[in-house]
Structure formats: structure tokens, C-alpha cells
Structure 1
Amino acid sequence: MKVDFDIHGGNIEKEARKLGLSTDRIIDASASIVPFKLPKKLNNYLINSIKNESIKSYPDRSYSEVKNSIAKWHNIDPSMILPGNGASELFTWVARDAGLNGISSLPSPGFGDYQRALRCWNASYIHNPIPLSWTNRNPQPFPIKPKTHVLWITNPHNPTGQLWSRSSIEKLLTNYKLVICDEAFISLTPGGESQSIIDLTKNHKNLIVIRSLTKFLGLAGLRIGYAISNSDRLLEWKEIRDPWPVNTLAINATNMIMKDSKMHKKRLNKIHKWVEEEGKWLHQSLSEFSTIKPLPTTTNFQLIKSDSSILNVIENLKQRGILLRDCRSFITLDENWIRISLQKRKQNIRIINTLKDYIN
């Protein structure tokens, strides 16, 4: 299946042009990015990075400084880290290794970019459905054990928002030649870090963990993520990838947020409080509708099932400057499903009030 990134979410500039609106008049609840501005200290640091002309030089191809700062945060060896141009670039290299190891299992519904990456290498994959009904107990055991060579896991899961338990994933590591765990949303999830499996990469060479910083920082346009795996694998990727995939501004932002633990933790606390408060408010507000049902979630987005097609509702809200996530790009989901990403309270109220004009 070809993934249509026009219904992927986050296409705010394109939609603004079509609607004849400025981007600041649009609520983009289709992309799961924190709605907060950068910490002032980090914002000023990036501005100064431009003023002092640090971007005139090529980035350090070894990425030594940024690898050291990430390594210190996660308490792992710097040789086990490879920064990337967002998580998506790293998925491309992950998919190369997946193809070399056999058939991949993609739990579905799931993030469509995994398929794009696997097709780059003509790698074989199959979809394995996960249950679309669950309780609000967290973390939950990973629900399937596909009989393939490679297993892709998203934790917490996208688009359902379920947080898988570390113990249930650890038990799977001996069952597969390669396990890929995408932890893009785990730092945004209250209690999420306790279920991370990053430290398991020290003793399991068949494990790759991918992290994204763009959602945490609210800088999707800067493109920064990193892979954590055994050093031999990452060295091989480094030798065959583009010479300078990560730009200097992304490196500088990562260095600062990883080195300044006070700022990092303050940011995390702010996000977790927001997810807990706004997540609860939005879920309760959505539960008051009779024709849609919000499913339990742990992170900054909510998956919602409608009794009937909700495409007209998505289009009507778009015309009023509110973008929701059309879930047809997720395998096993159809036009009855939408995903709403958390916003600040004012924007969340506007979303709920506008929904009331179109559904019961």
C-alpha cells in the first residue's frame, strides 16, 4: 500500500494556502507536536548560532559532541548513538537492516513511514492487526507475537496511544533476528520513560531504538532524532549514508537541551502536566458525544471511532481552520476513525465546540 502523506497530518502550510488563511489562524490537531514555545534560553541560543556564523562551516561528521550529550542523558556509550535527520531518515537505514534479516512484521494500525522505508530496499513485510479495544490500565503487555524475522514496535503506539510494558517487549527479544522500537512519543508520555528499552541495547545486538526530539521540542521543521543500537551497526550506516544529514542548528539545539538537565526536566514536567490535564479534559469532553467514542490513551493524541463516516466532519472543520487527522493512512482503519492531537485549553475548547456543530 502506498502511503499518502497528504493525509498524514501536519500539512499546515499546504492547507493554509488552500483555505486562504495564515498559518497562525489554523489549529493543527493533525500532527502530534507539543504546542509550547521553545525555552527562552534555547531560543536565544539558536538565534546566536546564526548571528555568530557557526552555520558557515560544515557540521562535524563524527557528531562527537552531540553523541556525548545524548549518551550522558541515557547513560549509554556514545558509540551506540547515531543522530539523524529526524526519525524518518533513520527508519530508512533501519529498514535496510530489516530487509537483510528477512520478513518484517508491522503491527497495524501503525505509522505508515515504516512501509515507505521498507520499500526503499524492496524489503518484505506483512501487517499484523493489534486489537482495537483495550482498557485504560497502563502499561499494557504487547498484544501480539508474529511469526516473522523482524518486529517493528511503536511505544507508545501510534495511533492508539497505548503504552507497552518494558517487560513484555524484553521477552520478545529472543524471538526475532531484529527488533525495532520507535520511542518517538515516549518522552511526552507521563511515566513513559520507565518503559523505555534503551538500556537493553547494551546486551541485545538485535535491538534498535529510535528517538525523536522534534516532537519534544516542538520543532518538527528542524528534523532531529537519533538511533541507539550496537556500535558496529551504526558505524556501517554512517559509512553509507549522506555525508551531512544533520544540520548545525539541529546539533546545537540537541546539545543544549541534553546538557542543560534543569531546562530539560522543566520541559518534561511541563509537557507531562499538559498531557495529564488536557488529555483528561479532552477525553471527557469527547465522551459526551453519542456518535463517537474516544479510546483510552497515555500520550498527547486521542484515537476516536465514529458510528459512521467522519470524512465530512473532517472537511467541515478544515474549512473552519481546524485540522484533524484523517486515519485512512493507517492500515486497518477506515473513514470512521480520526485522531486528535492535544492543544492548549483554548484551542481544545474551540475544537469541541466546533465538533458540536456537526455531530451529536
Structure 2
Amino acid sequence: MNAPGHAHADATKAHADATDAHGPDLRHHGDVEVRGDGAGLVDLAVNVRAGTPPAWLRARLAASLATLAAYPEDGAALTAVARRHGLAADRVLLTAGAAEAFVLVARALPARHPVVVHPQFTEPEAALRDAGHAVGRVLLGPEDGFRLTPEAVPEEADLVVVGNPTNPTSVLHPATALARLAREGRTLVVDEAFMDAVPDEHASLVPLLERLPGRTVVLRSLTKTWGLAGLRVGYALSDPATVRALAHHQPLWPVSAPALTAAEACSAPEALAEAEEAAKRFADDRAYLSARLAAFREAGLREATPEPEGPFLLLRHPDADAVRERLRERGFAVRRGDTFPGLGPRWFRVAVRDRTTTDKFVNALHKVLDRT
């Protein structure tokens, strides 16, 4: 067991909180909302772009099945991902989704005082705990729009995990602010699983990666923009020594041939151009959803983030649990918020969809809020 971590922070900005056995369910994820009796619902709970994977990508994946008799060879995918980010191939580690990368970080990298910035995706903390770490939490609050100031992270934290843009708050932290968290003796892990849904990826830490002090690990996923949750493909970007340390904890051939095909295909210039167009549509559709939701302020509905930049919105309502259940009755699944540390039963998250879907959702919400 690693030595317990300790966290402290400016109480006006954030505070640290040790996990206990009765805390939020860190293993609950949005896909649960659309399984079983939720299978026929309109899915606003999972942040995967609708209508994906596109036909050209499905064709590439189908063609890769002819190679399944051979062991996977990752050279072409590594080269493509490295070129996409302007890095050497030895700074790239391909993984079975970003979730595997969290496990590798937890098992491979030393940490006496790990800290996770919440609310955010809960798998990083779950992986650290499974690896025997005592994890501190820095909890950001709605009074500041869930924005992180570097001073909120305790000095003694030697491993810091933060999402950007953050799930579920939709906050995009400036790269310059995150860069201030990097220092000698610390591992900074930035989960950029949704960064390709941000136009121009303008807050990515990747361009600064080679200049930051200490150890920095940036994680990416192909799940969200390309609709590949079932394929499990992502990657980590870091310095060569860290990449080797993480890889040491992978089994042989950790990424399948179809997943390698996807990594190569989605890193091509034409795919990046498509992703950029999708990011711009997300921004337009998010603005439309936000404008429609503004009509419910008198009914107690509030957005959490003044300037959301992810493909989802975090919403608050005094009776959010009842709102979620009544939305299910009307055919819509949204993501509960109480399983994210720092939130509670008054919160829920809604994925950004096209305007037709948004209009139908808003109509259902009108009926639901009339009953609360």
C-alpha cells in the first residue's frame, strides 16, 4: 500500500476531500442509462457523437478483419498518431481506450500523494484506488463555474489528474493554467478525451508537452468523435521514458488490429478535417441547446458552466432525480450527476445532439417541469 495522500487548498476556490467507502459510485457510467429498460430511449446520457462511426471508417475496419490471422503490428498506427501531433513515435503509447491508460498510470508511475481534480471522469481515481493509492480530491465548485486555479492543488501532490475539457462540467481550462501545474517531482496527467470536440483543439497541452518540467502525460481517446466505444482505442503522449514505463505494464499485443486501423485512419489529414467540422457543429448545436434551456430558468433549471466548451452540458435543478425519471418516461435518458465527486442529486448531464433532437428534448422537458 502506498503512503496515504493529503490535500489542502484555498477554501474559496476548492477543497480536498478524502474518499470514504460511502462516497459516490466511481464505476457508474452513462451507458448504464441506456441498457435494459433504457435501450429504446433517446440517448443523451453518453457523450459519443451520433451517427458514428462514419461509413468510410466502418469500411476500413471491415477490411482490417482480413488480417486477423496475424498478430497486430502497431508501426503504422504509431507513426500516424505521432505525425498527427508533431511528435516522435517514441512519445506515443497506443492503448485499449483511455481507460487502460488510467490503469497503466496508476500501476506504473510512482505517487505518494496523488490528487484528482473533481468533478471529472471517475475512472482515474478508481484506477488509482485499485492500485492501492490513497487519493486526495480537489473539489471545484459551482460558485467559480468549476474552474481550476493552479493554487488549488496542494504543493505536496506528486501526481495530479485533471480533465480538459472536463467531463461532466464542460469546462475548458486554458493550457497556460494547466502548464502551471507541471513541476519537477510531479506527474501531471491531463485527460483530453474530448479535446477533438473543441474547435482547433486550442487548449490542448500537447504543443507544450516537450517543454514542461517534471513528467506530463496527455491522454486521448477515439471513442467520442468517432463512435468507437466498443472498439477500445486511445493513446498516451509523454516523454520516451514514461512511455516505456507505461508499456512495461501492458500485455503483449494490447491493441487489436482493427483498433490499430482506427488509430491510423483517424489520424489522417482528411479525418482531422472531418473532426474539425464536427467540433464546429458541436459548438453550434451546444449554443442552440443552451439558448433553448435558458427558457427554464424560472422553473429552477441552471447551467453549471458560464462558457461550456465540451459536447455536453451540466445542469442543476432542485428536483433533478424526479426530472431524470420523468424524462425517461417521455423517452429520454440523461446522465445522473450524483456519482461524480463534488456534485450531488441536484445535477444531471445532457449530451449535445442535433437541433431536431434538442427540440424534441426541450418539448419533453417542458412537460416534465410543468409537473415538478
TM-score (norm 2): 0.86
The equivalences for 1:1-360 within 5 A come to 1=21, 4=25, 7-11=28-32, 14=35, 17-19=36-38, 23=39, 25-50=40-65, 53-60=66-73, 63-98=74-109, 100-134=110-144, 144-147=152-155, 148-174=157-183, 177-191=186-200, 193-204=201-212, 205-259=214-268, 261-269=269-277, 271-289=278-296, 290=298, 291-295=300-304, 296=306, 297-306=308-317, 308-360=318-370
Given that 2:34 and 2:43 are in contact with CA atoms closer than 8 Å, whether structure 1 keeps it comes out as: no
Given that 1:31 and 1:325 are in contact with CA atoms closer than 8 Å, whether structure 2 keeps it comes out as: yes
Which letter does structure 2 place at the counterpart of 1:37? T
Helix, strand or coil for the counterpart of 2:169? coil
Q: Structure 1 residue 135: deviation in Å?
A: 6.3
Q: How far apart are the structure 1 equivalents of 2:148 and 2:135?
A: 25
> Cα gap change, 1:336/1:135 in structure 2, threshold over 3 Å: closer, same or farther?
closer
Q: How far apart are the structure 2 equivalents of 1:122 and 1:87?
A: 20
Which letter does structure 1 place at the counterpart of 2:69? K
Q: How far apart are the structure 2 equivalents of 1:249 and 1:239?
A: 22
Helix, strand or coil for the counterpart of 1:245? coil
Q: Structure 1 residue 5: deviation in Å?
A: 6.3
> Cα gap change, 1:351/1:186 in structure 2, threshold over 3 Å: closer, same or farther?
same
Q: Structure 1 residue 48: deviation in Å?
A: 2.0
The alignment's C-alpha RMSD in Å is 2.2
Q: How far apart are the structure 2 equivalents of 1:86 and 1:40?
A: 21
Q: Structure 1 residue 12: deviation in Å?
A: 5.6
Helix, strand or coil for the counterpart of 1:73? helix
Q: How far apart are the structure 2 equivalents of 1:336 and 1:298?
A: 22
Helix, strand or coil for the counterpart of 2:208? helix
Which letter does structure 1 place at the counterpart of 2:90? S
Which letter does structure 1 place at the counterpart of 2:210? K
Deviations 1:162-190 (A, max 9, x none): 11111111122126511111111111012
Which letter does structure 1 place at the counterpart of 2:103? T
Given that 1:108 and 1:332 are in contact with CA atoms closer than 8 Å, whether structure 2 keeps it comes out as: yes
**What stretches of structure 1 of length at least 5 have no aligned partner?**
none
Q: Structure 1 residue 150: deviation in Å?
A: 1.7
Given that 1:190 and 1:299 are in contact with CA atoms closer than 8 Å, whether structure 2 keeps it comes out as: no
Given that 2:141 and 2:342 are in contact with CA atoms closer than 8 Å, whether structure 1 keeps it comes out as: no
Which letter does structure 2 place at the counterpart of 1:18? D
TM-score (norm 1): 0.89
